[in-house]
Chains A and B, each alone.
Chain A
Amino acid sequence: MLPEFNFKRPETLREALKDYSSENYKLIAGGTDMIVEMRKEKDIDYDILDISGLGELKGIKKEKSKIYIGALTTFSDVFTSAVITKEAPLLKEAVRNAGSLQIRNRGTIGGNICNASPAADSVPALVALDAEVNLVSSDGERTLKLDEFITWPYDTDIKEDEILKSISFKPAEYTGYHFYKLGRREALAVSRMNVAVLLNIKNGIIESAVISPGSVMPTPGRVNEAERLAEGNKPSGELFEKAGVKVSEIMIEQSGIRWSTEYKKPVIEQMVKRALIFAAGIKT
């Protein structure tokens, strides 16, 4: 048994927004983070609004050159989606091992984002794709960039009466991609550090590079300094090593030296290097 609460299951998004703005509710979708949270408490001082049944917030579609992923789309649905497989294989890779199958079948992409766990698997890939979050409240809608939406570990810029409706992005232009994930046990361990990269190589020269680490910086975001370093050059192991070192420098600049730095620094350097080597398809 969990601590006690009242439970309501609205039928439509409209009804959900109304309930959400008037009472002290927390939202539950797939429940895979929320129930673990609730289990830690002896008492909880909120009620539960179950939005898991809202069809309006489910599914993946392409509209006017943008891809929209409904906030309640599960990891399994993202993974098997033909649109994602074709247009955003980087995201497909990122959710491949996001928890066990049992978790991927329930956990939603919107829940993952709103919890803003630094270890969220989908976030670095979505940030690499320059994704936006589309929020809705009874007052209307607004759109924010994902990396600005997540403001701190476990904290976002969402307003009290807002619900995340969808995540959207334009398919990126790239010649290679890679999602590198470090975990303890592949299927389950909440992802430790990871990095999503995209490379666009034309005539042997890197035209553009995207490097988006997860669980490395305090908040998700691309490392522009390392991207600039790679751009305009010929892909090589040496170059990618430098890019990795740049990422770790920026990490230390942002987070300072911590007990974990001694471990994280060489690991992130190698991860970035390897991800870029894979994405470039070169041998070293």
Chain B
Amino acid sequence: MKNINVNFNLNGEDISIDCEPAKTLLDLIRDDLGLKGIKRGCEIGECGACTVIMNGEAVASCMVLAPQTEGANIITVEGLTSDDSLHPIQTAFIKKGAVQCGFCTPGMILSAKVLLDNNPAPTRKEIRIAIAGNVCRCTGYKQIVDAIEYAAELMK
């Protein structure tokens, strides 16, 4: 099968890579580019563990073919800050005890970022709607909603 050249921006860096068309954006970022923040969960668009921000929107990267990323702007959890510091959403997740095993966390944080970028002071209901596509099997959603509410305050 013919490889396809794909060009896109990942966390502020221009990427040009030859990839097999049968890879998803999840495969490309995790396996080929080595960014392990996004997680491989269900691979059928139901869990949100593989969430990335694509052109400003939360998207399940297991539902995008890698070559469909041509020209796109992608942000993963690694790209939230440009140095080693934590993003306020990350700080809030730690402070509010919203992380247990951490498997859902990168996806949750990216869904939260899209929400807060568009709506700096969301209600708890709006927060719940924004993370409705992200499944957490251990922490419980209350702490996560608390954390996002707190992050909104920190980002004021």
Contact = CB atoms under 8 A, between A and B. Distances in A.
B22 A31 contact: no
A31 B63 contact: yes
A76 B56 CA distance: 13
A141 B117 CA distance: 42
A118 to B, nearest CB: 19
Given A100-B132, A102-B59, A31 B111 contact: no
Nearest to B62: A35
A1 B22 contact: yes
A205 interface: no
A284 interface: no
Contact of B45 (A2, A5, A7, A99): A99
Interface stretch (A47-55, A171-179, A231-239): A47-55
A interface SS class: loop
A62 interface: no
B130 interface: yes
Interface in B40-69: 43-46, 48, 51, 54, 57-60, 62-65, 67-68
Interface string A27-66: 0101110011001000000001010110000000000000
Interface string A19-32: 00000000010111
A28 B111 contact: no
Given A35-B63, A35-B65, A48-B65, A5 B1 contact: yes
B27 A1 contact: yes
A97 B98 CA distance: 26
Contacts, number: 101
Interface residues of A, number: 30
A81 interface: no
A4 B64 CA distance: 15
Contacts of A9: 67-68, 70
Chain B, interface residues (CB within 8 Å), range:
20 to 34
Which of B58, B68, B134 has the largest count of A CB atoms less than 10 A from its CB? B68
Given A2-B22, A4-B1, A35-B63, A102 B68 contact: no
A53 B8 CA distance: 14
Given A2-B24, A6-B21, A101 B63 contact: no
Interface string A65-105: 00000000000100000000000000000000001111101
B64 A31 contact: yes
B133 interface: yes
Which of A7, A99, A106 has the largest count of B CB atoms less than 10 A from its CB? A7
A184 to B, nearest CB: 12
B23 A101 contact: no
A2 B122 CA distance: 38
Nearest to A3: B22
Contacts of B58: 101-102, 105
Nearest to B67: A7
A101 B48 CA distance: 10
Given A4-B22, A28-B65, A101-B130, 10 more contacts: A7-B65, A35-B63, A36-B45, A39-B43, A76-B57, A99-B45, A100-B46, A101-B132, A105-B57, A187-B129
26 contacts: A1-B27, A2-B24, A4-B21, A6-B2, A7-B4, A7-B65, A28-B68, A30-B63, A31-B68, A35-B45, A36-B63, A39-B43, A50-B68, A53-B70, A99-B133, A100-B132, A101-B58, A102-B51, A102-B58, A102-B60, A102-B63, A102-B111, A105-B57, A105-B59, A186-B132, A187-B129
Interface of B: 1-2, 4, 20-24, 27, 43-46, 48, 51, 54, 57-60, 62-65, 67-68, 70-71, 111, 129-130, 132-134
